[in-house]
Amino acid sequence: MASSLTSRLVHLNPITKHTPTKLNPLKNSSSFYFSLPSSLNSRRRAVIMSSSSSYDKQLVAAKKAASLAARLCQNIQKGLLQSDVQSKSDKSPVTVADYGSQVLVSFVLQKELPSQAFSLVAEEDSGDLRKEESQETLQRITKLVNDTIASDGTYNVSPLTEADVLTIIDCGTSEGGSSGQHWVLDPIDGTKGFLRGDQYAIALGLLDEGKVVLGVLACPNLPLESIRTSSQNTKAGCLFSAQLSCGTYMESLDGSPPVKVQ
Protein backbone atom coordinates (compact mmCIF):
# COMPACT_ATOMS: atom_id res chain seq x y z
CA MET A 1 0.00 0.00 0.00
CA ALA A 2 2.46 2.64 1.18
CA SER A 3 5.10 1.47 -1.26
CA SER A 4 2.84 1.82 -4.27
CA LEU A 5 1.95 5.40 -3.36
CA THR A 6 5.42 6.59 -2.43
CA SER A 7 7.09 4.85 -5.38
CA ARG A 8 5.94 7.69 -7.63
CA LEU A 9 8.46 10.09 -6.12
CA VAL A 10 12.18 9.37 -6.39
CA HIS A 11 14.41 6.54 -7.54
CA LEU A 12 16.26 6.01 -4.23
CA ASN A 13 18.68 3.17 -4.82
CA PRO A 14 22.36 2.71 -3.93
CA ILE A 15 24.89 3.92 -6.45
CA THR A 16 27.47 1.54 -7.78
CA LYS A 17 31.12 1.65 -6.74
CA HIS A 18 33.10 4.51 -8.32
CA THR A 19 30.17 5.50 -10.55
CA PRO A 20 27.96 7.94 -8.63
CA THR A 21 25.63 8.56 -11.55
CA LYS A 22 24.58 4.93 -11.99
CA LEU A 23 21.97 3.18 -9.90
CA ASN A 24 21.53 -0.46 -8.98
CA PRO A 25 18.35 -2.01 -7.59
CA LEU A 26 18.15 -2.47 -3.82
CA LYS A 27 16.58 -5.80 -3.07
CA ASN A 28 13.51 -5.73 -0.81
CA SER A 29 13.10 -1.95 -0.78
CA SER A 30 10.92 0.57 -2.58
CA SER A 31 11.95 2.27 -5.82
CA PHE A 32 11.24 5.97 -5.88
CA TYR A 33 11.52 8.27 -8.84
CA PHE A 34 10.98 11.98 -9.40
CA SER A 35 8.48 12.86 -12.06
CA LEU A 36 5.79 15.40 -12.65
CA PRO A 37 2.79 14.06 -14.58
CA SER A 38 3.21 14.70 -18.29
CA SER A 39 -0.42 15.76 -18.48
CA LEU A 40 0.34 18.93 -16.51
CA ASN A 41 0.66 22.01 -18.68
CA SER A 42 3.89 24.01 -18.39
CA ARG A 43 2.40 26.77 -16.26
CA ARG A 44 0.98 24.34 -13.72
CA ARG A 45 4.27 22.41 -13.65
CA ALA A 46 6.13 25.65 -12.92
CA VAL A 47 3.79 26.50 -10.04
CA ILE A 48 4.27 23.06 -8.48
CA MET A 49 8.06 23.20 -8.83
CA SER A 50 8.34 26.75 -7.48
CA SER A 51 6.40 25.78 -4.36
CA SER A 52 8.75 22.94 -3.41
CA SER A 53 10.63 25.03 -0.84
CA SER A 54 7.47 25.03 1.30
CA TYR A 55 8.19 21.39 2.15
CA ASP A 56 11.57 21.98 3.80
CA LYS A 57 10.21 21.58 7.35
CA GLN A 58 8.33 18.43 6.39
CA LEU A 59 11.47 16.93 4.86
CA VAL A 60 13.52 17.60 8.00
CA ALA A 61 10.79 16.00 10.12
CA ALA A 62 10.53 13.01 7.79
CA LYS A 63 14.28 12.38 7.90
CA LYS A 64 14.24 12.58 11.70
CA ALA A 65 11.27 10.21 11.92
CA ALA A 66 12.69 7.61 9.55
CA SER A 67 16.13 7.74 11.19
CA LEU A 68 14.72 7.17 14.67
CA ALA A 69 12.57 4.30 13.40
CA ALA A 70 15.64 2.79 11.74
CA ARG A 71 17.51 2.90 15.05
CA LEU A 72 14.73 0.93 16.73
CA CYS A 73 14.69 -1.62 13.90
CA GLN A 74 18.46 -2.09 14.06
CA ASN A 75 18.30 -2.79 17.80
CA ILE A 76 15.43 -5.25 17.44
CA GLN A 77 17.05 -7.13 14.57
CA LYS A 78 20.19 -7.71 16.64
CA GLY A 79 18.22 -9.72 19.20
CA LEU A 80 15.03 -10.72 17.42
CA LEU A 81 12.91 -13.10 19.49
CA GLN A 82 10.50 -15.68 18.11
CA SER A 83 7.76 -14.01 20.14
CA ASP A 84 8.48 -10.74 18.28
CA VAL A 85 6.95 -12.19 15.10
CA GLN A 86 3.22 -12.65 14.58
CA SER A 87 0.95 -13.37 11.64
CA LYS A 88 -1.79 -11.04 10.47
CA SER A 89 -5.16 -12.26 9.23
CA ASP A 90 -3.77 -12.53 5.68
CA LYS A 91 -0.92 -14.74 7.02
CA SER A 92 1.70 -12.06 6.30
CA PRO A 93 4.26 -11.55 9.08
CA VAL A 94 4.26 -8.54 11.36
CA THR A 95 6.89 -7.87 14.01
CA VAL A 96 7.32 -5.62 17.03
CA ALA A 97 9.59 -3.58 14.73
CA ASP A 98 6.71 -2.90 12.31
CA TYR A 99 4.59 -1.55 15.13
CA GLY A 100 7.44 0.28 16.86
CA SER A 101 8.59 1.90 13.63
CA GLN A 102 5.08 3.16 12.91
CA VAL A 103 4.74 4.55 16.44
CA LEU A 104 8.03 6.44 16.22
CA VAL A 105 7.34 7.91 12.77
CA SER A 106 3.89 9.10 13.83
CA PHE A 107 5.22 10.43 17.15
CA VAL A 108 8.09 12.38 15.57
CA LEU A 109 6.03 13.88 12.75
CA GLN A 110 3.43 15.16 15.20
CA LYS A 111 6.10 16.56 17.54
CA GLU A 112 8.08 18.23 14.75
CA LEU A 113 5.03 19.66 12.91
CA PRO A 114 2.60 20.54 15.72
CA SER A 115 0.86 23.35 13.84
CA GLN A 116 -0.05 21.23 10.82
CA ALA A 117 -3.06 18.99 10.41
CA PHE A 118 -1.86 15.40 10.71
CA SER A 119 -2.98 12.61 8.40
CA LEU A 120 -1.08 9.32 8.11
CA VAL A 121 -1.87 6.39 5.85
CA ALA A 122 0.12 3.51 7.31
CA GLU A 123 0.38 -0.27 7.28
CA GLU A 124 -0.62 -1.31 10.80
CA ASP A 125 -3.53 -0.82 13.19
CA SER A 126 -3.87 -1.70 16.85
CA GLY A 127 -6.57 -4.36 16.50
CA ASP A 128 -4.41 -7.43 17.18
CA LEU A 129 -2.46 -5.70 19.94
CA ARG A 130 -5.64 -4.99 21.88
CA LYS A 131 -6.28 -8.73 22.31
CA GLU A 132 -5.50 -10.25 25.69
CA GLU A 133 -2.98 -12.70 24.25
CA SER A 134 -0.96 -9.78 22.82
CA GLN A 135 -0.33 -7.96 26.09
CA GLU A 136 3.28 -9.08 26.39
CA THR A 137 3.94 -7.99 22.81
CA LEU A 138 2.37 -4.60 23.52
CA GLN A 139 4.51 -4.21 26.63
CA ARG A 140 7.66 -5.01 24.63
CA ILE A 141 6.75 -2.53 21.87
CA THR A 142 6.10 0.17 24.46
CA LYS A 143 9.46 -0.41 26.14
CA LEU A 144 11.36 -0.45 22.85
CA VAL A 145 9.73 2.79 21.72
CA ASN A 146 10.40 4.54 25.04
CA ASP A 147 14.00 3.34 25.10
CA THR A 148 14.56 4.67 21.56
CA ILE A 149 13.04 8.06 22.35
CA ALA A 150 15.08 8.32 25.55
CA SER A 151 18.34 7.35 23.81
CA ASP A 152 17.78 10.04 21.19
CA GLY A 153 17.41 12.76 23.83
CA THR A 154 15.53 15.17 21.56
CA TYR A 155 12.13 15.00 23.19
CA ASN A 156 11.58 15.85 26.85
CA VAL A 157 8.41 13.83 27.33
CA SER A 158 7.07 11.38 29.87
CA PRO A 159 7.36 7.72 28.82
CA LEU A 160 4.52 6.60 26.60
CA THR A 161 1.98 4.28 28.17
CA GLU A 162 0.60 1.19 26.45
CA ALA A 163 -2.60 3.14 25.80
CA ASP A 164 -0.54 5.93 24.20
CA VAL A 165 1.15 3.41 21.91
CA LEU A 166 -2.19 1.97 20.77
CA THR A 167 -3.54 5.45 20.10
CA ILE A 168 -0.46 6.49 18.11
CA ILE A 169 -0.59 3.32 16.01
CA ASP A 170 -4.17 4.15 15.10
CA CYS A 171 -3.13 7.63 13.99
CA GLY A 172 -2.05 5.75 10.86
CA THR A 173 -5.55 4.74 9.83
CA SER A 174 -6.31 7.83 7.75
CA GLU A 175 -7.97 7.17 4.40
CA GLY A 176 -5.91 9.88 2.70
CA GLY A 177 -7.48 11.48 -0.32
CA SER A 178 -6.83 14.02 -3.07
CA SER A 179 -7.34 17.04 -0.80
CA GLY A 180 -4.82 18.32 1.75
CA GLN A 181 -1.55 16.76 2.87
CA HIS A 182 -1.22 13.09 3.80
CA TRP A 183 1.81 11.13 4.96
CA VAL A 184 2.14 7.60 3.60
CA LEU A 185 4.21 5.05 5.51
CA ASP A 186 5.40 1.49 5.20
CA PRO A 187 7.05 1.05 8.64
CA ILE A 188 9.10 -1.89 7.35
CA ASP A 189 9.15 -2.34 3.60
CA GLY A 190 10.44 -5.89 3.33
CA THR A 191 9.44 -7.60 6.60
CA LYS A 192 10.65 -10.96 5.29
CA GLY A 193 14.02 -9.39 4.50
CA PHE A 194 14.08 -7.99 8.02
CA LEU A 195 13.43 -11.47 9.45
CA ARG A 196 16.27 -12.93 7.36
CA GLY A 197 18.69 -10.25 8.50
CA ASP A 198 18.70 -8.96 4.93
CA GLN A 199 17.79 -5.59 3.39
CA TYR A 200 14.62 -3.71 4.29
CA ALA A 201 13.59 -0.06 4.51
CA ILE A 202 11.42 2.44 6.33
CA ALA A 203 9.54 4.14 3.48
CA LEU A 204 7.84 7.48 4.06
CA GLY A 205 6.31 9.91 1.58
CA LEU A 206 4.16 13.03 1.61
CA LEU A 207 1.21 13.66 -0.69
CA ASP A 208 -0.08 17.19 -1.24
CA GLU A 209 -3.35 17.56 -3.11
CA GLY A 210 -2.90 14.02 -4.40
CA LYS A 211 0.67 14.49 -5.67
CA VAL A 212 3.86 13.12 -4.14
CA VAL A 213 6.09 16.01 -3.06
CA LEU A 214 8.79 14.38 -0.92
CA GLY A 215 10.04 10.98 0.14
CA VAL A 216 12.48 9.43 2.60
CA LEU A 217 13.89 5.90 2.56
CA ALA A 218 15.89 4.68 5.55
CA CYS A 219 17.88 1.49 4.87
CA PRO A 220 19.31 0.28 8.20
CA ASN A 221 21.38 -2.59 6.74
CA LEU A 222 22.91 -0.72 3.82
CA PRO A 223 26.38 0.74 4.56
CA LEU A 224 26.91 4.05 2.79
CA GLU A 225 30.67 3.64 2.53
CA SER A 226 30.40 0.23 0.89
CA ILE A 227 28.63 1.96 -1.96
CA ARG A 228 31.63 4.21 -2.56
CA THR A 229 34.59 2.06 -1.54
CA SER A 230 35.57 -1.51 -0.78
CA SER A 231 36.14 -0.80 2.91
CA GLN A 232 34.88 -3.54 5.19
CA ASN A 233 34.95 -1.46 8.39
CA THR A 234 31.84 0.59 7.79
CA LYS A 235 28.73 1.35 9.79
CA ALA A 236 25.46 0.14 8.33
CA GLY A 237 22.68 2.51 7.59
CA CYS A 238 21.77 4.76 4.64
CA LEU A 239 19.18 7.51 4.43
CA PHE A 240 17.89 8.62 1.03
CA SER A 241 15.72 11.71 0.71
CA ALA A 242 14.18 13.82 -2.02
CA GLN A 243 11.97 16.83 -2.40
CA LEU A 244 10.09 17.98 -5.47
CA SER A 245 12.45 19.78 -7.89
CA CYS A 246 15.30 19.74 -5.34
CA GLY A 247 17.02 16.48 -6.25
CA THR A 248 17.80 13.26 -4.39
CA TYR A 249 20.36 12.96 -1.60
CA MET A 250 21.93 10.14 0.36
CA GLU A 251 23.67 10.17 3.74
CA SER A 252 24.51 7.79 6.53
CA LEU A 253 22.01 7.26 9.33
CA ASP A 254 24.57 8.53 11.82
CA GLY A 255 24.54 11.96 10.20
CA SER A 256 27.22 12.22 7.51
CA PRO A 257 26.92 15.18 5.11
CA PRO A 258 24.36 14.48 2.35
CA VAL A 259 25.64 13.63 -1.11
CA LYS A 260 23.53 14.45 -4.15
CA VAL A 261 22.57 11.53 -6.37
CA GLN A 262 22.76 12.56 -10.01
User: What local confidence, expressed as pLDDT, does residue 87 receive?
Assistant: 55
Alpha carbons 258 and 67: distance in angstroms, whole number:
14
Question: What average pLDDT does this structure show over 22-42?
Answer: 38
Q: Tell me which residue of 120, 109, 86 sits closest to 191, measured CA to CA.
A: 86
Q: Tell me which residue of 176, 28, 31, 186 sits closest to 94, measured CA to CA.
A: 186
Domain of residue 160 covers: 56-81+91-260
Active-site hit among 84, 98, 170, 208 = 98
SS (H, E, C) 65-108: HHHHHHHHHHHHHHCCCHHHEEECCCCCEEEHHHHHHHHHHHHH
Q: For residue 67, is it within any domain?
A: yes
Q: Which residues pair with 182 in a beta bridge?
A: 207
Quick: pLDDT tens for 86-135: 655 544 557 899 999 999 999 999 999 999 999 999 999 999 999 999 99
Catalytic residue at 191? yes
Q: For residue 44, is it within any domain?
A: no
Q: For residue 204, is it within any domain?
A: yes
Number of domains in the chain: 1
Q: Give the annotated binding-site residues for Mg(2+).
A: 123, 186, 188-189
Q: For residue 194, is it within any domain?
A: yes
Quote the pTM value.
0.77
Catalytic residue at 198? no
CB of 103 within 8 A of CB of 169?
yes
Q: Give the annotated binding-site residues.
A: 123, 186, 188-189
Active-site hit among 6, 95, 142, 191 = 191
Q: For residue 5, is it within any domain?
A: no
Q: For residue 9, is it within any domain?
A: no
Q: For residue 231, is it within any domain?
A: yes
Least-confidence region, from 11-15, 59-63, 65-69, 194-198: 11-15
Confidence of residue 141 (pLDDT cuts 50, 70, 90): very high
**Top-confidence range, 4-13, 74-83, 92-101, 138-147:** 138-147
User: What local confidence, expressed as pLDDT, does residue 206 receive?
Assistant: 98
Alpha helices for 86-190 (secondary structure H)? 96-112, 135-152, 162-169
Q: For residue 11, is it within any domain?
A: no
